[in-house]
Structure 1
Amino acid sequence: MKRFLLVILAIGILAACKNKQKSGDGTKEPMTLADFQALFTPGTLPYKLAADSLQLKLADSLALDTAAVRQFLTDTLTTGTFGRNEKVKIFPLQRISGAVVDYLVLKVAGKNQTTGYLCFLDKKGKYLSRIRVANTGSSDGTTTSFNLDSKNVLKINTEKKLTGSRTALKEDFFMINNDGSITLIMTNSNGPTTPGQIFNPIDTLPRKHKFSGDYTSGEMNIVSIRDGEDAKTFQFFITFSKDNGNCKGELSGKGTFIAGNRGEFKDKESSCGLSFQFSNGRVSIREIGGCGAYRGIKCFFEGGFVKKAEKKKKK
């Protein structure tokens, strides 16, 4: 009798083991965060994803379940790159632990282009945000790749084909913050400069505050102010070119209003500081700390800028 019971018990255990499948493969067993992250290859910093590496074909069986992506990351991962109804395959690439946030690198393959995304997670695995960091197959021949170093500095490299064998190279450096947001530190480019055309990374942010707007001094000098998280803060982006382009500077970050029409910025990574003085459709800036990491050695963040009139939206 005991032998019979043992046989029945063994059969039950074997059946249970046979029926138990990996979480998230369509079974009723829910996928855990640990299960999801285990699908990514562990990696370390520094990390680099080149455009040619992004093009390597992966087996369809490695693709993530879109429901798992929505559960642990976001349902808007591919928004802005792929069409709403376009069928894509999402592949897990790397799982990396950083100093202030953790990272997941994903590859999304569509019909005509392939894109790499860098997702930011807090130390408990909660999704914070994502940024597109790599791309191949765009209609104008532009390719994008990225580097991520151990100091939370993200460099996105963009290469665009021009006429003949010429190419335009652009490097954008970002500081990654512990809330998953990014701050543009500097941009290097060897591409042609068109007067009046400046890439403004905060251009689409709200500008409801009375001091928010774009302030200019010449075609290639701008102080862009946008609304902050509350009435006491503001976002800014500054770029300038002096001495016929021989001395340039670029800086972005979050400032604080310290009086009715005065603002201040202090860099957490250096001694750099800026003072903002707003008055009658103008803003004056000056350095209150050494900002040499963000400009040439012979020029400074200083001077007066006039606020541009906003274009009226068509009804």
Structure 2
Amino acid sequence: MNKLMLVVLSIGLLAGCGSKKDKKGKDALTFEDFRQLFNTASLPYKLTPDSLKTKVADSSVITTELLQQFLTDTLAKADFPENAAIRYYPVAYIQGAAVNYFVVKAVGKSATTAYICFLDKKGKYLNRLAAAKIDGQNEQHYFSIDGKQVVKVTNEIQIAPGRTATREDFYGVSDNGQTTLIMTNSSGEAAAGQIFNPIDTLPAKHKLSGDYFAGESGLVSIRDGEDPKSFQFFITFSKEKTGCKGELSGHGRFTSANKGEYKDKETDCGIAFQFASGRVSIREIGGCGAYRGIRCFFEGSYAKKK
């Protein structure tokens, strides 16, 4: 009798060791379990507007607990005003060289957005990029990742019947999940007052982060960096009289409480930023001709949008 009881207890103990429980006593998913929720895809990869519109079964929804455990529960917080109504769905898992890509679709009341989440090879969440969107308006955003792992985000806006303005932003992704805008192609003219800002959805918690404007065609956008001493920026302008245009983006460093500086790694281009009283002034501290026309410069004062 004692031997029989010992065998039963041993079997129960082994069964208990074979599964993990969460704090509520439920079976906890491992990272491999989470990865298998996504369809495995290979490069090159493209998410089209039609595929983004395709309805997904509610049974595949990613819970807030899973987001918090493997990604981040604030994934779409900055893009949806109605956070409580957002539903997340797994779309695709893509294995990359430096990082792996998890494509997640967020569905709200007024829009559907797709995010590329960057995770390291150990499964640690690093960063995300809002790369596709449909919202019922006259615009749509979609993306592709080529064989060299360059992310192309395409923005299309219908500015009139039969007329569409298209912009393609190409991003490089580093092994820490940070994205860098490396090139932009555009065709067609945007609607009056419409400026495409590729870093618009990035965090802007720093006191100097925000959007600074000069007229309807000049923008200096500042977003948070990897640490309090760094920042990301996007500058675009168009001179009506000369037709000269310029566009530049990158990562800068704060050199003091109200000054910043950017130095291009590939050219001698540099930009000095001076912040004061809700404004930012910029000036070139190196030749930036590769990013602008020959009859204009990255210079001037821009007012912060409240």
**Aligned: 1:157 with 2:160:** no
**Superposed displacement of residue 37, structure 1:** 0.9
The question of whether the paired residues in 2 share the 8 Å contact of 1:284 and 1:302 is answered with no
Q: TM-score, normalised by structure 2?
A: 0.72
Q: Distance in 2 between matches of 1:277 and 1:116?
A: 35
Larger Rg: 1
Greater CA deviation, 189-198 or 155-164?
Answer: 189-198
1:96 aligned onto 2:94: yes
CA distance in 2, matches of 1:112, 1:227: 27
2: CA distance, partners of 1:86 / 1:227: 27
Amino acid of the structure 1 residue aligned with 2:140: T
Offset of residue 104 of structure 1: 0.3
Give, in whole Å, the separation in 1 of the partners of 2:188 and 2:92.
Answer: 32
Is residue 305 from structure 1 mapped to residue 299 from structure 2 by the alignment? yes
Q: Counterpart of 1:57?
A: 55
Q: Deviations over 1:92-130 (max 9, x none)?
A: 221112233211012234455433221111221111222
Match of 2:124 in 1: 126
Q: Is the 8 A contact 1:265 1:275 kept in 2?
A: yes
Amino acid in the other structure paired with 1:165: G
Shift of 1:223: 5.2
Decide whether the 8 Å contact of 1:103 with 1:120 is kept in 2: yes
Which residue pairs with 1:285 in the alignment?
284
The count of corresponding residues between Structure 1 and Structure 2 is 288
Distance in 1 (CA, whole Å) between partners of 2:111 and 2:221 is: 33
Paired residues for 1:1-315 under 5 Å: 28-79=26-77, 80-81=79-80, 83-86=82-85, 88=87, 90-110=88-108, 113-136=111-134, 138-193=135-190, 197-201=194-198, 205=204, 208=207, 214=212, 220-221=217-218, 233-241=230-238, 248-256=245-253, 263-267=261-265, 271-277=266-272, 282-287=281-286, 292=290, 294=291, 299=293, 303=297, 305-310=299-304
What is the CA-CA distance between 1:228 and the residue it aligns to? 5.1
Task: For 1:58 and 1:261, locate their aligned partners in 2 and report how far apart those are by CA, in whole Å.
Answer: 48
Three-state SS of the structure 2 residue aligned to 1:308 is: strand
User: Partner amino acid for 1:32?
Assistant: T
Say if 1:172 and 1:306 are closer, same or farther in 2 by CA, change over 3 A. Answer: same
Secondary structure of 1:303's counterpart equals: coil
Secondary structure in 1 aligned to 2:121? Answer: coil
Task: Give, in whole Å, the separation in 2 of the partners of 1:246 and 1:31.
Answer: 57
CA contact (8 A) 1:86 1:110 kept: yes
> d(CA) in 2 for partners of 1:168 and 1:213?
22
CA contact (8 A) 1:21 1:27 kept: no
Q: Distance in 2 between matches of 1:240 and 1:84?
A: 34
> SS at the partner of 1:81?
coil
- Taking the aligned partners of 1:223 and 1:110, their CA distance within structure 2 comes to 30
What is the rounded CA distance, in whole Å, between the counterparts of 1:71 and 1:158 in structure 2?
A: 32
Q: Is the 8 A contact 2:48 2:142 kept in 1?
A: yes
Per-residue CA distance 1:32-62 (angstroms, 9 max, x = gap): 1111112222222221000111223333333
The 1:272/1:302 distance shift into structure 2, 3 A limit, reads farther
* TM-score, length-scaled by structure 1: 0.70
More off after superposition, 122-131 vs 174-183: 174-183
Residue 250 of structure 1, CA deviation: 1.9
1:54-95 deviation line (CA, Å, top 9, x unaligned): 22333333333432222111112232236233263x322211
Tell me how far 1:274 sits from its aligned partner.
1.6
Give the Cα–Cα distance (whole angstroms) in 2 for the partners of residues 23 and 41 of structure 1. 26
What is the CA–CA distance in structure 2 between the aligned matches of 1:206 and 1:307, rounded to whole Å? 22
- Structure 1: unaligned runs, 5 residues or longer: none
Q: Secondary structure at the match of 1:146?
A: strand
SS of corresponding position for 2:51: helix
For residues 150 and 222 of structure 1, do their structure 2 counterparts lie closer, same or farther at Cα, with a shift above 3 Å needed?
same
Identical residues among aligned pairs (%): 42
Distance in 2 of aligned mates of 1:107 and 1:46: 19
Unpaired runs of 5+ in structure 2?
none
Seen in structure 2, the aligned counterparts of structure 1 residues 240 and 195 have a Cα distance that, compared at 3 Å, is: same
**What SS does structure 1 have at the residue aligned with 2:123?**
coil
CA 1:142–1:238 in 2, change beyond 3 Å: closer, same or farther? closer
CA distance in 1, matches of 2:298, 2:109: 49
Partner-residue secondary structure (3-state), 2:76: coil
Contact 1:286–1:302, Cα closer than 8 Å, also in 2:
no
